[in-house]
């Protein structure tokens, strides 16, 4: 893969995130969307010059270096298969994946670079470390994670809530409780709350524009271009020198 001319296929292109990726990809030098895949195969106004294939014709998509996937669990297997068939890397933000699908990501990482992240925002990348630190310092306090999203979101708890829950477990060995709210057009909010006797610690992240996730995924794609096969972590890739 040529890191100065990275050829990208966008999977789940007609969705909220797919369209944001198409809209913003043009801003990034060294990166080119060569095709998009959606269920209908209709040309998308965000990138009218990009050929769009219906999912049934994914195999006909042109060669690419990386697939950026924001779809749904039922569509995800096809995106991963397309990567393996082309020797292309994968940047995926699809949440609600099954254990089998996470195992398939591990297996694919033996052949191609793979980066799956439940959240491509810089703030949540930092929040993980804070949550782990708080959980380790407050092992006897109650831990709860409350996530709020728009009414169209299908999975609950959100992928971010679950990975923040993993940080809680890493810190104190016990899982938190989860609560999910679906309301209006909330882009994505996560509250991690530690409650003791007479005091409460709250760590909150609020996304107010989903373009931050699209920018994060494009940034991940650019950074993955210089890497070989393996499983990569968004936080580690982004915070390689400890800061954004
Ligand atoms: N990691 C992160 O930072 C973020 C992750 N997400 C996650 O990204 C995913 C997409 O979110 P969002 O864009 O809001 O969702 P949308 O529902 O808007 O988009 C989903 C996309 O997947 C396509 N799709 C659905 N079912 C199938 C199928 N059976 N076969 C092929 N394609 C299919 C849809 O096509 P069609 O238009 O035809 O329905 C659409 O293009 C979700 O899992 C969400 O949780 C979201 C934001 C940030
Ligand atoms: O579906 C969404 O919108 C979002 N999904 C991700 C998740 O499940 O955590 C990330 C973000 O919160 C938006």
Beta strands in the chain (DSSP E): 6-11, 31-38, 52-54, 66-69, 89-92, 113-116, 142-149, 177-182, 188-195, 200-207, 230-232
Q: Is 158 in the pocket of ligand 2 (CB under 6 A)?
A: yes
- Characterize the bridge pairing of strands 188-195 and 142-149: antiparallel
Q: How many residues does the chain have?
A: 244
Within 6 A (CB) of ligand 1 lie 12-18, 38-40, 55, 70-72, 74-75, 93-96, 117-120, 155, 159, 210, 213
The pLDDT confidence band at residue 153, using thresholds 50, 70 and 90, is very high
Q: Are 213 and 219 in contact (CB under 8 A)?
A: no
Residue 202 has pLDDT above 80, yes or no: yes
The pLDDT confidence band at residue 243, using thresholds 50, 70 and 90, is confident
The string of pLDDT tens digits covering residues 166-188 is: 999 999 999 999 999 999 999 99
Residue 1 has pLDDT above 80, yes or no: no
Atom of ligand 1 nearest to the CA of 118: 1
The string of pLDDT tens digits covering residues 112-144 is: 999 999 999 999 999 999 999 999 999 999 999
Distance 165 CA to ligand 2 centre (A): 15
Average pLDDT value for the chain: 96
Backbone torsions φ then ψ of 198, nearest 5 degrees: 80, 5
> What share of the chain in percent tops pLDDT 90?
95
The domain limits of the chain are: 6-116+211-238, 122-207
Nearest partner of 138 among 199, 191, 206, judged by Cα:
199
Annotated binding site: 12-17, 93-95, 117-120, 150, 159-160
The pLDDT confidence band at residue 85, using thresholds 50, 70 and 90, is very high
Mutating to test ligand 1, I would choose from 10, 44, 70, 98 the residue with most ligand atoms within 8 A of its C-beta, which is 70
Atom of ligand 2 nearest to the CA of 155: 8
What superfamily does domain 6-116+211-238 belong to in CATH? Answer: NAD(P)-binding Rossmann-like Domain (3.40.50.720)
Q: Are 85 and 167 in contact (CB under 8 A)?
A: no
Residue 95 has pLDDT above 90, yes or no: yes
How far lies 38's CA from each of 11, 44, 179, in Å? Answer: 7, 10, 32
**pLDDT at position 241, please?**
80
Q: What is the CATH class of 122-207?
A: alpha beta
Residue nearest to atom 2 of ligand 2 (CA): 153
The string of pLDDT tens digits covering residues 28-70 is: 999 999 999 999 999 999 999 999 999 999 999 999 999 999 9
**pLDDT at position 4, please?**
85
Q: Which residues are annotated as catalytic?
A: 149, 153
Complete DSSP assignment for 181-220: EE-TT--EEEEEEEE-SS-EEEEEEEE--THHHHHHHHHH
**pLDDT at position 242, please?**
81
Cα-Cα-Cα-Cα dihedral of 20, 83, 37, 78, to 10°?
Answer: -110
pTM, entire model: 0.98
Annotated binding site for (S)-2,3,4,5-tetrahydrodipicolinate: 150, 159-160
Sheet of strand 188-195, all strands in order from the earlier edge strand to the far edge: 177-182, 142-149, 188-195, 200-207
- How far is 177 from 173, CA to CA, in rounded Å? 13
The residues, any chain, with a CB within 8 Å of residue 200's CB and separated by 6 or more, are 193, 194
């Amino acid at each position: 893969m040529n890191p100065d001319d990275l050829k990208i296929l966008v999977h789940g292109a007609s969705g909220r995130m797919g369209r944001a990726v198409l809209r913003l990809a043009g801003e990034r030098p060294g990166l080119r969307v060569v095709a998009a895949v959606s269920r209908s195969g209709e040309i998308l106004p965000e990138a009218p010059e990009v050929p769009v294939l219906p999912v049934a014709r994914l195999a006909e998509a042109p060669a690419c270096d990386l697939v950026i996937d924001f779809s749904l669990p039922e569509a995800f297997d096809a995106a991963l298969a397309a990567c393996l068939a082309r020797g292309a890397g994968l940047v995926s933000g699809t949440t609600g994946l099954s254990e089998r699908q996470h195992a398939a990501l591990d297996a694919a990482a033996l052949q191609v670079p793979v980066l799956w992240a439940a959240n491509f925002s810089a703030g949540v990348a930092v929040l993980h470390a804070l949550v782990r630190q708080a959980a380790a310092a407050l092992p006897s306090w109650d831990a709860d994670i409350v996530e709020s999203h728009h009414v169209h979101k299908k999975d609950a708890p959100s992928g971010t809530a679950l990975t923040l829950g993993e940080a809680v477990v890493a810190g104190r060995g016990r899982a938190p409780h989860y609560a999910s709210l679906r309301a209006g057009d909330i882009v994505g909010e996560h509250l991690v709350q530690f409650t003791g006797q007479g005091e409460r610690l709250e760590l909150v992240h609020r996304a107010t524009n989903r373009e931050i996730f699209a920018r994060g995924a494009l940034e991940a794609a650019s950074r993955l271009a210089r890497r070989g096969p393996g499983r990569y972590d968004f936080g580690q890739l982004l915070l390689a020198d400890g800061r954004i």
